[in-house]
Structure 1
């Protein structure tokens, strides 16, 4: 693949993602029986949206909910943020995951809508910087990242690369590193291409979401060529890796909150949100993401 030209990326709320579906297992009732059940916080049918990289993370958590409540049938639908958000405004899906904060335009559309909604913080994700093991980048500070992404790196010795379709990642990079300013990066056609670009050039660094980094590196077969770059919030502090504990504690500078947004008048969407924010944190802990809060532990005294 020939290299793309470097250009500033204008962050917009849309990205193209494949469609994923899952049906929760352990349900004792068939689909037709479920659809006929009266909707409640623990019964009925619910479709909720998530970006493709989050689908493998949230699908097992959805199956946990169905195991708790066999009369509830959940389905997760993957798509671009723009598709999911516009669908949410129309009522399908009735809930969705949101990485980071909504934009002012999105908040305005929701405030002017004829329905109530709620944003429930349910997990913490992170942007992960990867580099070639033979390259010069072993760690970075937030200030160094800001200069690399601002276009102020005159020599362009270190070239940042991102997935051109992952506009949410680009928006989060802009917010977390560049204070909302446009970022200057090279773009490639997918996460796998980000890994290949880093593995093939010692002067390239790449950015991926935490939930897909390990999988993409493993599938590429380039794990021996790639290092995860720890980041320091300032030059005085030690660089921190994006471990689950560091992301949870907030010591990793590129962490962000993942929200579950749902329509208040949908009882199952609200019920799943309440469960996800409490008991469902156990499922988040078992994933690569960090929980938003420590799971509740029950001790049985005999």
Structure 2
């Protein structure tokens, strides 16, 4: 009888050891093949918000960052520009790409958590003039633009603007130096509709971000479409200036504004993305139509 009990106990002990070994093996298997993702400046996930019109640019930035750091995953999500900061403050996004600095209403959202958020100036964009390719006039002074977009012009042009883009309207008001209650333009719903309006009427003139307008203008080389007007600087004896990358970088073009990366300090992957954007990521902006905030150093190797 005692021998039988010993056999049962021995069998139970063997079974327990077997189960422990089996569970340990399963744990090791899953740990090796499905490792837990650590959160660090170069690993983890980021919900990255941006204005819908510059999702392609934000997508290129995130793809390059993920190519450098394969343990990080960046999801680019397009939203109306005036919703980006509130969504970041609420926690839906950990980082957003803004054109222009915080608006007064956005600063109020951030005020109570000012130490939680940080801004990085990552690139230089510009407000550009869009006109029909058959328009008789393709050069404008800043005074002419101020008059047109404040309802004082008799030039024969009708100004229009994207009615949905509240942030851009604030940029125009600030850069042209007009009062917010004076901005006068035909409201058009969306950037594609603005382009269609310009294409259909050579008396229309619009303002748009270069980063958004570039795709439409590049496409127009294949067919009729809008062109970017030149500015004539005051006191320059008629010197024309086009918003190319050099003019944006030196700010010789007068309607330059910053692209701003706004993010949560406490979210490590977003902090890492910000550091990359102001460093290696500047090369992505150099390969675009807009300009980097800082020119990356170029190393020249001399060969004997």
Same-fold call, TM > 0.5? Answer: yes
In 2, distance between residues paired with 1:222 and 1:44?
A: 42
SS in structure 2 opposite 1:252? coil
Q: Which residue number corresponds to residue 140 of structure 1?
A: 140
Aligned to 1:259: 260
Task: Tell me if structure 2 keeps the 8 A contact 1:149–1:178.
Answer: no
Partner of 1:53: 53
**Cα distance in 1, alignment partners of residues 266 and 231 from structure 2:** 42
Residues matched between the structures, number: 269
Q: CA deviation at 1:33?
A: 5.5
TM-aligned CA distance change 1:143 to 1:272, over 3 Å: same
| Structure 1 unaligned regions, length at least 5 | 1-31
Structural mapping, 1:48-197, within 5 Å: 48-113=48-113, 115-153=115-153, 155=154, 157-181=156-180, 182-197=182-197
TM superposition shift of 1:123 = 0.7
Q: Tell me, in whole angstroms, the C-alpha distance in 2 between the residues paired with 1:99 and 1:225.
A: 25
Alpha-carbon RMSD across the aligned residues, in angstroms, is 2.3
Alpha-carbon distance between aligned partners in 2 of 1:233 and 1:33, rounded to the nearest angstrom: 60
The residue number in structure 1 matching 2:14 is none
CA deviation after TM superposition for structure 1 residue 141, in Å: 0.9
Does the 8 Å CA contact 1:125/1:257 hold for their aligned counterparts? yes
Change (3 A) 1:114 1:281: closer
Structure 2, unmatched stretches of 5+, are 1-32
Higher helix share: 2
Match of 2:26 in 1: none
Q: 1:125 touches 1:209 (CA, 8 Å); kept in 2?
A: yes
Q: Secondary structure of 2:184's match?
A: strand
Larger radius of gyration: 2
Structure 1 residue 298 displacement after superposition: 4.7
TM-score by length of 1: 0.81
Question: Are the aligned partners of 2:217 and 2:227 in contact in 1 as well (CA < 8 Å)?
Answer: no
Determine if contact 1:263/1:270 at 8 Å carries over to the other structure.
yes
Q: Is the 8 A contact 1:141 1:239 kept in 2?
A: no
Distance 1:121 1:208, change over 3 A: same
Closer/same/farther in 2, CA of residues 60 and 227 from structure 1, 3 Å limit: closer
Does the CA contact (< 8 Å) of 2:86 and 2:106 recur in 1?
Answer: no
CA deviation map 1:229-260 (0-9, x unaligned): 11134243522111111111111111100110
> Any conservation in 2 of the 1:278–1:296 contact (CA below 8 Å)?
no
Secondary structure of the structure 1 residue equivalent to 2:86 = helix
SS of structure 1 residue aligned to 2:156: coil
Question: What CA distance in whole angstroms lies between the structure 2 residues aligned with 1:233 and 1:189?
Answer: 31
